[in-house]
Structure 1
Amino acid sequence: MTVRVRGIYATALTQLLQDAGHEVVQASGPIEDRFDGEFADERAAVTVTTTGDQQGVGVVGDSDIADTITDRLTAVGRDTLHWTDPTPEGAIYAGTVTETLGSGAVVDLGDGEGFLPYSSSDERVETDDALRVQVVEASAPWTDGRPVLDTTVAVRGSLLTLVRGGTASTPATGGPAMLDLIAADPREGWSVSWESASDDASFDALAEALDAANDRGTAIDDALDGADDPADCAPACHDEGLATAWLWFGRESRFALDEARRAVTATMPGHHRVKAGDRAASAAVDYVEALCDDLETGETDFPFAVTARQFGPQVGGSLSLGHGKPDGRLITLGSGEVQSVDDDGTVTIEREMHAGGSYDGLGVPKEAGDIAETKVKEGRWWYPTVYRDSDGEKKGTYVNVCTPVEIFPDTARYVDLHVDVVKHADGTVERVDDDELDAAVEQGHISEPLAERTRSVAAAVKSALE
């Protein structure tokens, strides 16, 4: 039940996971300072890491424990969505190179595509090559990234790395002397190197980590011994790797994480909301919290106005719509010019439309000179877009129902919940795409409580527009 936590959500997640009976290990310096008691430096069965865009976390590790942690973190809020990664970390594939780029190659894995840096292969890589690769860094589904691959098969961990194809005497940090001290050996045919975190771990912890790595190495050997040559079977999966899941936090979830963090240390309203929106804001948040021991608390105290003035968006700038989908994709709907930023969290943007096609739900043609005016409001479960022609005549209104909107400096982000409400130019109002919401619930992409909230919001919007 051991777990390692890193990133901007670390304090809140440490609190939640400890309350759930998990043992947090290899804690960072700030976490050690905030919590009473010591944290062991032993092997973590699961690692929880904030994603690069700070919108959520990845959960990677032993399947039984990783699944339990994923379920606990999904329960943080009804607008937390999660997905299982089809190309998990540590998985081993026979892949086919489909494209060569400037710094690496795109590899078809069968379950998806991966990116192999040229530096991670000892051989020259060409299009149509078949080769064995391992996922060393998985990629969140809402990003444009591909999982990163390596041709070296290994068991990679925060304390040590076990490499297939070497021997116990292979030079490595710590060297053979470390093996003598812990009275343990790597599996035959594998070499071990010690990561920097091993410096603080006990000999018993290192021996246990090596035992676990050897067990994983045994499973890999069993999967690869006698496996077909990649040229004869690619694309194919030889080993399913570690359990890998992604959680995308919504606005309500971020404020719930604030509450968990507030139980440990001073936490300003919107702590995680601000940090997720702008890296430059992190230092400002830390400074405020270091000065203030008694902060106002709660979602309604989130200082949107001062946050927007300091970091954006600002009038005259641009704001895009980060349109998340319940299956994990993220679609950018284009940027509009910011017309106004109100202290209540409302931002108005305008986009000039191009001719061609028709507007979804409205069925009217897109014409040159059309203007789309969108009003997004921080924390609201819907937002309207009004379409007008070049003369200013209204062509219709489209209301998108979504998870609570978060307005970051450059992007307003949310997850689309399928159901929408449209008001035609003649005043007719209709609700559309309920069937898509039902399908998403059936597929497990949207929970029933979130679906109930969606239907309630859609009904209220429709009533207001009629």
Structure 2
Amino acid sequence: MRVRIRGIYTTALTHLFEDVVQASPPIRDRFDESFPVAPADLAAWTTTDRQGVTLSGDPVAVADAHERLAGISRDTLAWTDPLPKDGVFAGEVTETLGGGAVVDVGGGEGYLPYGETDDHVETGDTVRVQVRRPKPPWTDRRARLSTRIEVSGELVRLVRGESRESTGAASLEDLLPPEVPDGWRPKWGRDEEEAAMDALGTALDTATDRAERFDDLPTRGDPDAPTALATPLATSHVWFGREGRFELDALRREVTRTMPGHHRVKAGASDASAAVDFAEALGAFDSEAFPFAVVARQFGPQEGDRLAIDHGKPSGECFTLGKGEVTSVGADGSLRLEREMSPGGTYDALGVDRRAGDVAVTKFEEGRWWYPTVYRGDDGTRRGTYVNVCTPVELFPNAARYVDLHVDVVKGPDGEVRRVDDDELDAAVAAGHISEPLAEKARAVASKLERAL
């Protein structure tokens, strides 16, 4: 399995995978070896929010990498994308917005910018679209679509409908064995000059096979939208939990000097990369402990900040429970957050009405498998306690982040302690969203909390 890797997890994953191609210059220097400039079966790149990686490529290669990365730690989770990169769908326009249209393609929704189509689109229209940019399930964005069909690739991509300008000189594709199908134009990547001719020929051959598959799609009489027409590639998204990031640190440390929490810090703030690299270049760390106080002081969160609670679900979704004010931050990784609650409804599992003036006080601790929220009335009366069991909490500059593990423990205003939602945890295991080792950890944490409360 030949893998092309980019992003903040590259060194660790290069050490994990055996056959890396198209390595960047820093990786070639770090490993002090030559990596072939050859076609990749699989591309892995860091997600925009730096929380994990997206895998895209040959379905067998993606499935293998999906399983391998999910096994890095019990709090690393992975999901197969129903809208894989390069997939072509007959979709139905369900909504038009200021800059583009929302398109239902069957397995989910995508976003078609008006600049990615030559036709005017209206609600109810059927459009043939291709997935340009998949999206991780934990983000609130939609996959980016286009009506312009192409074959993606790093060494070469094929663009449909673009004519070749004749200069009288032989072009690179004229020197290679594969015959480019009519109506397609090759566009060579930045590594073209370093690749051997046989590697370029293999890349072009693979691209032309996929182009011919797209050409075989019917031009008229498509199946009723929404439906998939062709999905030559597979795509998966992997979210690294806190334990997973430290496992990646250990892999990276086998290759080069790596500070404790290397990937944890870089995942938390985009401007942290240079600081981490500088500290590692100097060897400016003398402890094996994660330097939470230093990281929080430099990048946040700090007292007075507004912090969101990003509540991930084992099925892949993520939503914000709300934002609160940070009232204290401890050097040990503890943090206190206060939120003023809006009236109406009841508190989950407590059966207590939400009233005007209620305040929720949440106490987080970096790396802990649970966190408590105490609800108090405007007179200071304790109205109940809800303890959420989750993957180890990470306190990033803008949000506390974790994945909820369903089972929780609550303590009512009368002092009654109850454990809730074990059935939801069992259902998540049966659905394949949570591994049995992770579920056992959640149950053990819940049992301990039950006894403590």
Instruction: Sort the TM-score into its range (normalised by shorter chain).
Output: over 0.9
Distance in 2, Cα, partners of 1:129 & 1:413 = 39
What residue in structure 1 maps to residue 124 of structure 2? 128
Structure 1 letter corresponding to 2:189:
E
- Correspondence for 1:288 among 279, 282, 287: 279
Contact conserved, 1:278 with 1:409, CA < 8 A, in 2? yes
Instruction: State the partner residue of 2:35.
Output: 39
Q: Aligned residue for 2:249?
A: 258
Of residues 160, 169, 181, the one that matches 2:156 is 160
Q: Tell me how far apart the structure 1 counterparts of residues 422 and 13 of structure 2 sit (CA, whole Å).
A: 35
Provide Cα deviations, 1:360-388, integer angstroms capped at 9, x if missing partner. 01101000011110000000000000011
User: In 2, distance between residues paired with 1:419 and 1:176?
Assistant: 66
Give 5+ residue unaligned stretches, structure 2: none
CA contact (8 A) 1:172 1:192 kept: no
Aligned to 2:351: 363
Q: Which runs of 5+ in 1 are unaligned?
A: none
Q: Give the 5 Å matches for 1:50-89.
A: 50-89=46-85
Cα pair distance change 1:173/1:48, threshold 3 Å: farther
Partner of 2:15: 15
Who is 1:346 aligned against?
334
Mapped partners of 1:189, 1:419: distance in 2: 56
Alignment of 1:187 onto 2:175: no
Residue deviations 1:77-107 (CA, integer Å, cap 9, x gap): 1000011101111111111222222221111
CA distance in 1, matches of 2:235, 2:286: 37
Q: Find the partner of 1:309 among 297, 305, 308.
A: 297
Q: Summarize the Cα distance change of 1:172–1:266 in structure 2 as closer, same or farther, 3 Å threshold.
A: farther
Q: Distance in 1 between matches of 2:114 and 2:21?
A: 34
Amino acid of the residue matched to residue 245 of structure 2? R
Distance 1:250 1:178 in 2: 45
Q: What is the CA distance between 1:241 and its match in structure 2?
A: 3.4
Aligned to 2:191: 197
Aligned residues: 453
CA contact under 8 A between 1:62 and 1:242: conserved in structure 2? yes
Q: Tell me whether 1:225 sits opposite 2:221 in the alignment.
A: no
Give the Cα separation in 1 of the matches to 2:152 and 2:431: 33
Residue type matched to 1:375 in 2? K
Deviation (angstroms), 1:25:
0.5
Structure-1 residue corresponding to 2:418:
430
Deviation of 1:185 after TM superposition, in Å, equals 2.3
Residues 1:96 and 2:96 aligned together: no
Quickly say closer, same or farther: Cα 1:440–1:61, change in 2 above 3 A: same
> Is residue 384–residue 412 contact of structure 2 (8 Å, CA) maintained in 1?
yes
Paired amino acid for 1:281: A
Residue 166 of structure 1 and its aligned partner are, at CA, apart by: 5.4
AA at the equivalent of 1:131:
V
User: Is 1:245–2:236 an aligned residue pair?
Assistant: yes
Tell me which residue corresponds to 1:408.
396
Moved over 3 A (4+): 164-167, 171-176, 293-297
Distance in 2 (alpha carbons) for counterparts of 1:93 and 1:228: 13
Rounded to whole Å, the distance in 1 between the matches of 2:166 and 2:74 is 47
Letter in 2 for 1:265: T
Partner letter of residue 358 of structure 1?
T
- Pairing 1:134-173 to 2, within 5 Å after superposition: 134-165=130-161, 170-171=164-165
Aligned-pair Cα RMSD in Å: 1.8
What's the counterpart of residue 452 of structure 1?
Answer: 440
Task: Please report how far the alpha carbon of residue 221 of structure 1 lies from its aligned counterpart in structure 2 after TM superposition.
Answer: 2.9
Q: Is this contact kept in 2: 1:320–1:411, CA < 8 A?
A: yes
Contact in 2 for aligned 1:387/1:397 (Cα 8 Å): yes
TM-score (norm 1): 0.94
Q: Return closer, same or farther for 1:85/1:172 CA change in 2, 3 Å cut-off.
A: farther
Q: Read off the aligned partner of 1:182 and give its amino acid letter.
A: L
CA distance in 1, matches of 2:183, 2:337: 61
Secondary structure, aligned partner of 1:68 = helix
CA deviations over 1:30-69 (Å, ceiling 9, x no partner): 1111113201111111000100000000000001111111
Aligned pair in 2 of structure 1 residues 195, 355: CA closer, same or farther (>3 Å)? same
Out of 179, 186, 200, the position equivalent to 1:206 is 200
Alignment match, 2:4: 4
Secondary structure of 1:436's match?
helix
Measure the CA separation in 1 of the matches of 2:276 and 2:16: 21
> What is the CA distance between 1:188 and its match in structure 2?
3.8
Q: Provide, for residues 371-408 of structure 1, a one-character-per-residue CA deviation record: whole Å limited to 9, x for no partner.
A: 11000000000000001111101111100000000000
Contact 1:2 1:44 in 2 (8 A): yes
Shift of 1:295: 5.2
Compute the displacement of 1:173 (Å).
12
Q: Please point out which of 318, 330, 352 is paired with 2:306.
A: 318
User: Taking structure 1 as reference, are residues 414 and 185 closer, same or farther at Cα in structure 2, changes over 3 Å only?
Assistant: same
Asked if the contact 2:178–2:208 (Cα under 8 Å) also holds between the matched residues in 1, the reply is no
Q: CA 1:175–1:305 in 2, change beyond 3 Å: closer, same or farther?
A: farther
Q: Does 1:389 align with 2:380?
A: no
233-242 or 25-34, which moves further after superposition?
Answer: 233-242
Alignment-mate amino acid for residue 195 of structure 1:
G
Contact 2:360 2:375 in 1 (8 A): yes
Give secondary structure in 2 for the equivalent of 1:404. coil
State how far apart, in whole Å, the 1-side matches of 2:169 and 2:258 are: 44
Q: Which string of whole-angstrom CA distances, capped at 9 and with x for unpartnered residues, describes residues 318-356 of structure 1? A: 111110000000110111111110111110011111110
When normalised by structure 2's length, the TM-score is 0.97
Residues 152 and 60 of structure 1, relative CA distance in 2, 3 Å threshold: same
CA shift, 1:174, in A, is: 13
Match of 1:27 among 23, 27, 37: 23
Contact kept in structure 2, 1:267 and 1:289, CA below 8 Å: yes
Secondary structure in 2 matching 1:24: coil
Counterpart amino acid of 1:225?
P
Distance in 2 (CA, whole Å) between partners of 1:40 and 1:361 is: 57
Q: Offset at 1:409?
A: 0.8
Distance in 2 (alpha carbons) for counterparts of 1:227 and 1:251: 50
- 8 Å CA contact 1:174–1:193 kept in 2: the answer is no
